[in-house]
């Protein structure tokens, strides 16, 4: 099959924009700065860059290639490839597990993106003018404490996601991405130009790029590797689904390198915007997940034209999250259209509504259900842990092994047409040995939690 029933990106650049749209999201703007802050800065950034280069990019090439070979939703792509290459049927599980992981992530991603939406009117109305740390913390706390408000913003964000997904590859995804991605780059550039003028720009840059290896632990290495999966949208079929709409003539490897570089640049640029503001206001880089929502508004509230820059920044976060959330929904929506014959509107609405319902669990886990924990983790923590630390790495591991060990060397070479054989061999070697071992390390790190879980279940029986 040379084309997907869902359509094809009009050209290679639209695939690049779409894949970059999926990759760039809350992971870059919210998560990357705060985990960098928590893990001591430069040395962590270096590890993260190594993980992107040595594991992220090779696995991403493999995942997109599978999508383009199958030209269907990830579930049907994997079923088709398993039949075509007479592989054991359990490999088709890559598609099913991915669609499930995408659905689970969508449910909480929408709630967090809703926080960013909620901050836009707050900043626009000058809520944070001359704000103190206590005021910003209280504002964030009040937002989390109100299930109604969280649900309102979560609902709006989910509706926007369904709207774009329902319109399909060309009229929905492509049209949205064509506008949102360039706008996002422009907004980031404006903010960066602002950050360069602050007196703490060099302190921020120093924090990001001076390598203090004494601050690096085994744990931070594992976090860096796990985050490289999350940030590149790997392991759950999102990028595989987008690969299915990629023109046959485009070079996968060159294209993916562009996407990974753009994703990394956005993460680094976000860091270069956030840390100078943090330092010039004497704030704490290791503030944790609250960094974006509690710390930055203080800075915006105390700088000239802060409302303007604040609104701009949170608009950017919402755009980035929207182009990621549509890719989280795409694998399962595409499957419903293909296999059940549903319209995209029906499939999008059904997936969106179910994810919205599940998202209410995340909403409640910040207030009424905050004390209902399973082994110390709230409902939201459990979902986040299960997907980011177990399902994505497992999906990535299986994709690497399937492409490197199950498909024949020639089949893969024909599909990729990478150019110099040495380059292809190096990529294949990494995929055969380095990526699976590195991912196993991440999975094993999740094992203490799993063994506690199993132990607790046993003691209950
Ligand atoms: N890459 C997105 C981010 O950095 O926010 C999150 C994400 C999107 C993860 C799509 C996985 C995915 F399939």
pLDDT tens digits along 267-293: 999 999 889 888 887 778 887 777 888
Angle between helices 147-166 and 306-340 (to 10 degrees): 60
Mutate to test the pocket of ligand 1, among 21, 113, 230, 259 (most ligand atoms within 8 A of CB): 230
> Would you place residue 260 in the very low, low, confident or very high pLDDT band (cuts 50, 70, 90)?
very high
Residue 173 has pLDDT above 80, yes or no: no
Cβ atoms 313, 300 nearer than 8 A = yes
Picking from 19, 353, 302, the residue whose alpha carbon sits closest to that of residue 181 is 19
Contact 27 CB / ligand 1 (< 6 Å): yes
Alpha-carbon distance of 152 to 245, in angstroms, equals 33
CB 176: neighbour CB atoms within 10 A? 21
pLDDT tens digits along 313-346: 898 889 889 989 999 999 999 999 999 999 999 9
Residue 119 has pLDDT above 90, yes or no: yes
Residue 189 has pLDDT above 80, yes or no: yes
> Would you place residue 301 in the very low, low, confident or very high pLDDT band (cuts 50, 70, 90)?
confident
Picking from 294, 311, 229, the residue whose alpha carbon sits closest to that of residue 32 is 229
Alpha-carbon distance of 273 to 310, in angstroms, equals 12
Backbone angles phi, psi at 150, to 5 degrees: -60, -40
Structure tokens at 225: 């590797």
Contact 231 CB / ligand 1 (< 6 Å): yes
The pLDDT value recorded for residue 7 is 67
The pLDDT value recorded for residue 451 is 64
Contact 238 CB / ligand 1 (< 6 Å): yes
The pLDDT value recorded for residue 114 is 97
Helix residue ranges, H only, 1-41: 12-23, 26, 32-38
DSSP string, 43-79: HHHHHHHHHIIIIIHHHHHHHHHHHHHH-S-HHHHHH
> Would you place residue 190 in the very low, low, confident or very high pLDDT band (cuts 50, 70, 90)?
confident
What is the pTM (predicted TM-score) of this model?
0.90
Alpha-carbon distance of 439 to 453, in angstroms, equals 21
Residue 176 has pLDDT above 80, yes or no: no
Distances (CA, A) of 9 to 74, 133, 169, 182, 200: 17, 46, 7, 17, 42
DSSP 92: G
Mean pLDDT over residues 298-309, rounded?
84
Residue 452 has pLDDT above 60, yes or no: yes
Ligand 1 centroid distance, CA of 198 (Å): 31
Query: Which class for 2: exposed (0-12), middle (13-18), buried (19 or more C-beta within 10 A)?
Result: exposed
The pLDDT value recorded for residue 160 is 94
> Would you place residue 453 in the very low, low, confident or very high pLDDT band (cuts 50, 70, 90)?
low
pLDDT tens digits along 374-409: 878 899 988 988 888 788 989 999 999 999 999 999
Task: Give kind and range of the element (H or E) at residue 180.
Answer: helix 175-197
pLDDT tens digits along 215-254: 777 778 777 888 899 999 999 999 999 898 888 888 899 9
| Atom from ligand 1 closest to the CA of residue 320 | 5
Contact 366 CB / ligand 1 (< 6 Å): no
Ligand 1 centroid distance, CA of 59 (Å): 15
> Would you place residue 57 in the very low, low, confident or very high pLDDT band (cuts 50, 70, 90)?
very high
Q: Which of 121-135, 165-179, 202-216, 439-453 has the lowest mean pLDDT?
A: 439-453
The pLDDT value recorded for residue 366 is 93
Alpha-carbon distance of 301 to 288, in angstroms, equals 20
CB 172: neighbour CB atoms within 10 A? 19
Residue 1 has pLDDT above 60, yes or no: no
- Tokens 């509690």 belong to residue: 294
Domain at 12-460: CATH code: 1.20.1740
Contact 25 CB / ligand 1 (< 6 Å): yes
Ligand 1 centroid distance, CA of 321 (Å): 8
| Atom from ligand 1 closest to the CA of residue 26 | 5
> Would you place residue 448 in the very low, low, confident or very high pLDDT band (cuts 50, 70, 90)?
low
Round the average pLDDT of the chain to a whole number and report it: 88
Kindly report the protein residue whose alpha carbon is nearest to atom 9 of ligand 1: 233
> Would you place residue 446 in the very low, low, confident or very high pLDDT band (cuts 50, 70, 90)?
low
- Tokens 């060099």 belong to residue: 202
Ligand 1 centroid distance, CA of 388 (Å): 10
Contact 230 CB / ligand 1 (< 6 Å): yes
Contact 324 CB / ligand 1 (< 6 Å): yes
Ligand 1 centroid distance, CA of 51 (Å): 16
Ligand 1 centroid distance, CA of 47 (Å): 20
């Amino acid at each position: 099959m040379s084309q997907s029933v869902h359509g094809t990106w009009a050209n290679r650049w639209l695939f690049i924009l779409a894949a970059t749209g999926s990759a760039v999201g809350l992971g870059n703007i919210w998560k990357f700065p705060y985990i960098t802050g928590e893990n001591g800065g430069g040395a962590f950034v270096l590890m993260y860059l190594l993980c992107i280069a040595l594991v992220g990019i090779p696995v991403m090439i493999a995942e997109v290639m599978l999508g383009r070979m199958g030209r269907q939703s990830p579930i049907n792509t994997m079923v088709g490839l398993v039949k075509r290459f007479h592989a054991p049927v359990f490999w088709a599980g890559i598609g099913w597990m991915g669609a499930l992981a995408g659905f689970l992530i969508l449910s909480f991603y929408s709630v967090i993106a809703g926080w960013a939406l909620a901050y836009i009117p707050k900043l626009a109305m000058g809520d944070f003018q001359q704000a103190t740390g206590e005021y910003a913390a209280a504002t964030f706390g009040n937002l989390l404490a109100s299930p109604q408000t969280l649900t309102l913003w979560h609902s709006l964000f989910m509706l926007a996601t369904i709207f774009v997904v329902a319109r399909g590859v060309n009229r929905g995804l492509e049209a949205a991405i064509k506008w949102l991605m360039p706008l996002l780059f422009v907004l980031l550039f404006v903010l960066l130009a602002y950050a360069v003028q602050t007196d703490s720009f060099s302190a921020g840059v120093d924090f990001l790029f001076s390598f203090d290896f004494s601050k690096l632990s085994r744990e931070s290495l594992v976090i860096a590797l796990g985050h490289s999966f999350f940030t590149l949208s790997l392991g759950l079929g999102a990028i595989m689904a987008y690969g299915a709409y990629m023109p046959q003539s485009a070079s996968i490897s060159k294209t993916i390198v562009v996407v990974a570089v753009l994703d990394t640049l956005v993460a680094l640029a976000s860091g270069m915007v956030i840390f100078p503001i943090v330092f010039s206001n004497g704030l704490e880089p290791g503030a944790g997940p609250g960094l974006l929502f509690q710390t930055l508004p203080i800075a915006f509230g105390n700088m000239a034209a802060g409302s303007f820059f604040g609104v701009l920044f949170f608009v950017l976060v919402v755009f980035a999250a929207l182009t990621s959330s549509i890719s989280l929904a795409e694998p399962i929506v595409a499957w419903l259209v293909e296999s059940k014959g549903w319209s995209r509107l029906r499939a999008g609405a059904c997936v969106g509504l179910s994810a919205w319902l599940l998202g209410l669990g995340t909403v409640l886990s910040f207030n009424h259900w905050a004390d209902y924990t399973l082994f110390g983790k709230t409902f939201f923590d459990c979902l986040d842990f299960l997907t980011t630390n177990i399902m994505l790495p497992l999906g990535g591991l299986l994709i690497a092994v399937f492409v490197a060990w199950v498909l024949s060397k020639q089949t893969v070479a024909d599909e990729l047409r990478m150019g110099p054989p040495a380059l292809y061999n190096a990529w294949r070697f990494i995929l055969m040995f380095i990526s699976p071992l590195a991912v196993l390390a991440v999975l094993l790190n999740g094992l203490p939690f799993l063994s506690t879980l199993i132990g607790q279940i046993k003691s209950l029986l």
